[in-house]
Homo-oligomer: A and B are copies of this chain.
Amino acid sequence: MQIDQIMQQAATAYEQYKDIPPVQRAAFLEAIGAEITARREVLVQAAGEETNLPAARLNGEIVRTTTQLQRFADLIKEGSWVEAVIDTTPNIRRMLLPVGPVVVFGASNFPFAFSTAGGDTASALAAGATVVVKGHPAHARTSLLVFEAIQAAVAQCGMPVHTVQHVTGDYHTGKALVVHPYTSGVGFTGSLQGGKALCAYAAERENPIPVFAEMGSVNPVVFLPQALHTRSGELAETFAASIALGAGQFCTNPGLLIGLESPAFTQFQQQLGAALEKTAPQKMLHPGIRTSFIQGRSRMFANSEVTLPSAPVPDFDDDAVRPSLALTTGAALLANPVLREEVFGPHALLVNCKDKTELLAVLRSLKGQLTTSVMATDEDLAQWQEVIDVQITLAGRIILNGPPTGVEVCAAMVHGGPYPATTDARFTSVGTAAIRRWVRPVCFQQFPDTLLPDELKSANPRAIWRLVDNQFTR
């Protein structure tokens, strides 16, 4: 089918879908979750075959996916997310309304949670937008099976037939979707190269549209001296698990481990290497990702300023890879921008800094990140406040004494960050605030209650929190 026809259908469906009351939209999101749960075994089987991800991980991801759908259902049932603001003199009222049909690109590394019925789709449907999903080619069959679940929910809930549509294709298809005049927004999780291309297409349009691209991160972790001194063994275990998790195929994988040159940091490096050596080989998502990983790692190992801290480059067991470490100095990282780049997979670069000044310079040299972490005791923190000050400028989420992997789907979550971690640091792609990507404020002046959406009527029939004459009230 032609993209033009698909987008026309999305626009027509939008005219109906946007006016469907939130309670019914919520029931629709819940029905998608139920249909996915009902197909769990088939979905896990298909995704396992297509992505090499183990069943336990895939089952967990399905729970996350249905949980996300439920969170957005709960959000729109409660209703306060529309940010209703009312000024009575003169009578001016605003709320968030959906922007129109949106395009969602499935992610390779999350066949469920960031794909066909993942967070982008769930948040867009919750907002009142219709969705065209471009399924990721690396798990096309899984994507179609999830789309079947969505279609079942559409039928069951009496939603417009084209509320969600599914397309497959190459980058020409992707471009056609982004430049189509009916497209109002784009969600993408993938490479910097891919995200930049989509942004360029969007900027070419007569009316540019927002592209929310989440494009990766090295997720720098700072290990402060007392923390290393008191619990290097525990930290090594924690970070070995975080580096190896899902064969390192997470946007939040810790890729840069920074500390002061010291016996404690050296000991941590050895403990981390030993912990990683115990890790079983894991297959990566698809051969292309594996090739990129091996090449990226080789480029890093080839750098004369990079050494291997403990183990040699691990062998590759058939299709599988094993986690690896490399070691460099703060001075080398400052001199070589390539050492600051992400190697997508189970790999981390340890950075020995000669003093606090160099460590701060290393942090300041980094581009925008999704997360940054700091391992510290209270004593460390009293002496290293500057580190946290720099980290705040660097990322959307700052973690104290924990690894960056594991992104909670909650109201406070920010899975986003300054460019190039994402294209728009003002938004998040995980957590309920992700709904804001698909809306804009609309202001009604001098409208009587009869013509206003329920959210803005004087009597507050939806009983939502609103800012009325500068007072929060319900």
Residues of A within 8 A of B (CB): 78, 80, 85-87, 90, 92-94, 97, 99-100, 199, 203, 207-208, 210, 367-368, 381, 388, 392-393, 395-402, 408, 410-414, 416, 418-420, 423-426, 428, 433, 436, 439-448, 451, 465, 467, 470, 472, 474
Contacts and interface: CB of A to CB of B under 8 A. Distances in A.
B92 A408 contact: yes
B207 A446 contact: no
Contacts of A472: 80, 465, 472, 474
Nearest to A376: B451
A207 B397 CA distance: 19
A14 to B, nearest CB: 10
A441 B465 CA distance: 21
Contacts of A445: 397-400, 402
Number of copies: 2
B94 A412 contact: yes
Given A85-B412, A368-B207, A411-B85, A398 B443 contact: yes
29 contacts: A78-B470, A80-B472, A87-B408, A87-B412, A92-B408, A99-B425, A100-B393, A203-B203, A207-B367, A207-B368, A207-B419, A207-B420, A388-B451, A395-B442, A398-B442, A398-B443, A400-B444, A400-B445, A400-B448, A402-B446, A411-B467, A412-B467, A414-B441, A414-B442, A416-B440, A426-B441, A433-B441, A465-B472, A472-B472
Contact of A413 (B92, B208, B419): B92
A78 to B, nearest CB: 8
A74 B312 CA distance: 61
B396 A443 contact: yes
Contacts of A207: 367-368, 418-420
A94 B442 contact: no
A68 to B, nearest CB: 15
Contact of A440 (B85, B426, B436): B426
B408 A441 contact: no
A354 B418 CA distance: 51
A89 to B, nearest CB: 9
A92 B467 contact: no
A441 B231 CA distance: 32
A399 B446 contact: yes
Most buried by B among A78, A388, A392, A393: A393
Nearest to A469: B411
Contacts of A92: 408, 410, 412-413
Contacts of A93: 412
Contacts of A401: 446
Nearest to A446: B400
A270 B28 CA distance: 53
Nearest to A81: B467
Contacts of A392: 97, 442
Contacts of A400: 444-448, 451
Most buried by B among A210, A395, A410: A410
Contacts of A441: 396, 414, 416, 426, 428, 433
A349 to B, nearest CB: 21
Most buried by B among A423, A425, A428: A425
A371 to B, nearest CB: 8
Contacts of A439: 426
A90 B408 contact: yes
Nearest to A389: B15
Contacts of A86: 412
A287 B416 CA distance: 47
B85 A444 contact: no
A410 B87 contact: yes
Most buried by B among A401, A402, A426: A426
